[in-house]
Amino acid sequence: MIYEEADKQEIHAQFDIQGFLAKLLRYWPVFVVSLLIAFGVAYYISVRKLPVYRMQNIINIKDKQNPFFTSNTSLTFNWGGVTDKVNTAMVVLKSRTHNEDVVDRLQFYVNYLTDGDYQQVDAYGRVPFQVELDLERPQALWRQFKVEFRDSVNYTLSVNFESDRANTQWFGNKRRGGIPTPVGEFREDFKLGDIIRLPFLNVRLMPVRGWRPIPNQPYYFQFQNFNSTVSKYMGIGVRPESDGSSTLLLSLVGTNKKRLVDYLNTSVGIFSENLLEQKNEFATNTIRFIDSTLAEQTVQLKSVEDELNQFKDRNKIYDLGAEGTLLNNRINELDLRKEGIDREIDYYNILENYLLNRTDYSSVPAPSVANISESSIVAGVGRIVSLAEERNKLQYSYREGAPIFLDIDRQIDAVKEILFENIRSTKSLKQQELITVQGDIARYESEIRQLPKEQQDLIKIQRRYDLTQGTYNLFLSKRSEADLVRAANVSDVQVIDLAKDTGGGKVGPNNKLNYILAGVVGLIVPLVVVFLIVFLDNRIHTVKDVERLSDIPILGYIGKSRAETNLVVLDQPKSAISEAFRGLRSSLQYIYRRLGTAGSKTVLITSSISGEGKTFCSMNLASVLALSNKKTLLLGLDLRKPKIFGDFNIDNSVGVVNYLIGQASKEEIIQESGTPNLRIITSGPIPPNPSELLISERMQDLITELKGEYEYIVIDSPPIGLVSDAAGLLDYADATLYMIRQNYTKRAMLSIINEKYKTGEVSNISFVMNVFGKQGVLGYGYGYGYGYGYGYGYGQGYHEDAVKPSFLGRLRRRFTKKK
């Protein structure tokens, strides 16, 4: 735990940028593989993605008023300015109701498909048949019906049912349901134009002009859920060309350009039709009212006309006298005037009742129907209609009960109050006018009673006939006026540009962007991996790592041995590693001279943990000292894990342990190595108490006696980072070599020896970098002690470096070592 915490602090405290860059260079194959994979994925996606297109059309929203509108004849009222219309148009074009109408008209819930290179593609407009649906019968949803033509007329229809039930929809009323189906494949032959009546399919395939079917090429069609289809098209893009502009740009994105073009143009067409229909709503309502009144007047006029003709024939009277004609004309004028006043009063009563009992004011009867020209009444009705239309349009954007609706309702109520006052005052005036007219009529009627009986009866019948005909002519005139207004109305939508396939419009897939992203991802992924490796790596890799972690100097550098044996100095004396040990020998002699050490010299070799090359260094350092004609002893004091006997082919049954416990003499434990001037004392059998043996007096006596006999004593000690055995041996050493294995020794392991060095428990200690490669000094220069100069300073021809073994050879060697 102490090592881990210290290591984490060290990692987070410092980050080696130079080392990180060196790591990146070492991991270049990972970057290459990552980029190849990323570009491969990008290519796979690019070739399988269908091209995506954007089609658009442009419309303009304007206030196109009827040129025949006047205060007396206008049957419609402007419900808002251009800005309001533009905002409303944007909402309507994206609304569900509008898109339902478009999908229904185009029957876009029918999908046409063909086989592409990698997947099925939308073949709308590119198939030789069109599906005509029976809207009142069910169609199976989401099932692909396969059509294969045998010739230009005959085809085979097939469909595969994986379950015994299928979802269906009646596209006439959009009702959903389900029906049982046969499990497996259904196949049947038909001809173009045949009506197909099946429980799951009720259609007729009709030929398309200009397209000839290709025999044996499969075509497909399927039915989608109506609501799902509508939802897909509600994402149509609608935006003004610029802020405040009345020009709208409609756009739609998809894989089939003809489908996009048809949808955009049909959407604009239906919107224009609906807008014109709304604009003509008042004229249409007025025409409907006039038509019903004219029907009644026609019957009444025919009846009075028949009665008049029968009276004339029966009484042989065909015209009135001069006096009768004068009286008849005057009373006819008064009757028409009275009829007009009654009609106005009736309109006021109807309007008053309508305003009192209705909440939808969009179909308020037009004042011109009753020939009313009172400006306050006309303006008030127009204002109410305008506010009602505005309220209806805002229902697309706001929920009922929103503050904007409450504000409009308050405005309508205010206008209604003013209208009620105007209606009451106008009705009062009309009542007085009616009394006057009725008095005039009574006076002329009294004069008529002075005429002969036949003249009186004829005047009465003629009077009714003239009154009925006058009323009929008035409504007929109003009917023509309403027709003229409706015919003169034009839609407020002007199409500037229809959607059209001109060969362009492709917006995706963006293959360049895919490859750019692939390159970025292909670089970032290994970069992040390498960064994590470096950031979380707690091992020593470079000289600079050691210099940051410790003040202890580095004495030498030993490269990686590729030899089959650990005795590199003896077996390959001209190798680079042998030269490195010679350099280490020279560095030690420099230390001894600096310290003034005379006589026998001891060097203790230790490390943090096992596996860092402590024994390898001991054997070869002892060998290189012996080769310099110095009487040398290799003393194996790693009592827990002895190793040195194997490479020298000597026996470990008797060693230093036997001497320390009194079972053998000094002479009995010293063995020949087979190399002149080199003797070896192995550790012997593993004892239960190695620490106690190493600090015993017999150990001290042994070292004293050996110093009297040998010029150099090389002590192979236990790892100081794992056990306390080596600590007791430090007092016997004139110089201590602490092994650091590159890419193996953990940084935190140096904390123990650093502490001992700072407190003075150990002195004359130096580091030796083992298994040291060029990457360990990349970017740091040369000159780190004598060992490096000998180990790496010689050119080609001075060394007999071992040939790098093959991959199988390395595996065999590793396997042999493990065994």
Dihedral through CA 333, CA 336, CA 337, CA 338, nearest 10?
120
Low-confidence ranges of the chain (pLDDT < 70): 1-16, 19, 63-84, 281-283, 285, 308, 311-328, 358-366, 368-371, 373, 393-399, 444-445, 447-460, 462-463, 467, 485-490, 721-726, 774-819
Pairwise CA distance, residues 499 & 479, whole Å: 39
Q: Which two tokens stand for residue 33?
A: 């593989």
Helix/strand/coil (H/E/C) assignment for every residue in 402-449: CHHHHHHHHHHHHHHHHHHHHHHHHHHHHHHHHHHHHHHHHHHHHHHC
Measured in degrees and rounded to the nearest 5, phi and psi for residue 18 equal -65, -40
Is the overall model pTM greater than 0.75, yes or no? Answer: no
SS3 115: strand
Q: What is the DSSP string of 8-44?
A: HHHHHH---HHHHHHHHHHTHHHHHHHHHHHHHHHHH
Is 302 in the same domain as 363? Answer: yes
CATH of the domain at 764: 3.40.50.300
Is 221 in the same domain as 82? Answer: yes
Q: Which of 279, 304, 320 is the last residue of a domain?
A: 279
Flag whether 135 is in a domain. Answer: yes
Flag whether 476 is in a domain. Answer: yes
Pairwise CA distance, residues 593 & 94, whole Å: 95
Is 33 in the same domain as 107? Answer: no
Spatial contact of 99 and 233, defined as CB atoms under 8 Å apart: yes
Is 41 in the same domain as 66? Answer: no
Give the model's pLDDT for residue 331.
72
CA distances from 621 to 566, 652, 735 (A): 11, 20, 13
Flag whether 74 is in a domain. Answer: yes
Is 274 in the same domain as 293? Answer: no
154 beta partners: 191
Flag whether 690 is in a domain. Answer: yes
Is 631 in the same domain as 677? Answer: yes
Q: What range defines the domain where residue 555 resides?
A: 543-818
Is 289 in the same domain as 269? Answer: no
Contacts of 647 (CB under 8 A, 6+ apart): 565, 566, 567, 619
Nearest to 339 by CA among 434, 448, 461: 434
Is 97 in the same domain as 200? Answer: yes
Flag whether 267 is in a domain. Answer: yes
pLDDT digits (tens, 9 = 90+) for 635-688: 999 888 888 888 888 989 999 999 999 999 999 999 998 899 999 999 999 998
Beta-sheet pairing, 678-681 with 670-672:
antiparallel
Number of domain units in the chain: 4
Q: Which of 279, 296, 315 is the last residue of a domain?
A: 279
Flag whether 254 is in a domain. Answer: yes
Is 193 in the same domain as 305? Answer: no
Pairwise CA distance, residues 217 & 531, whole Å: 55
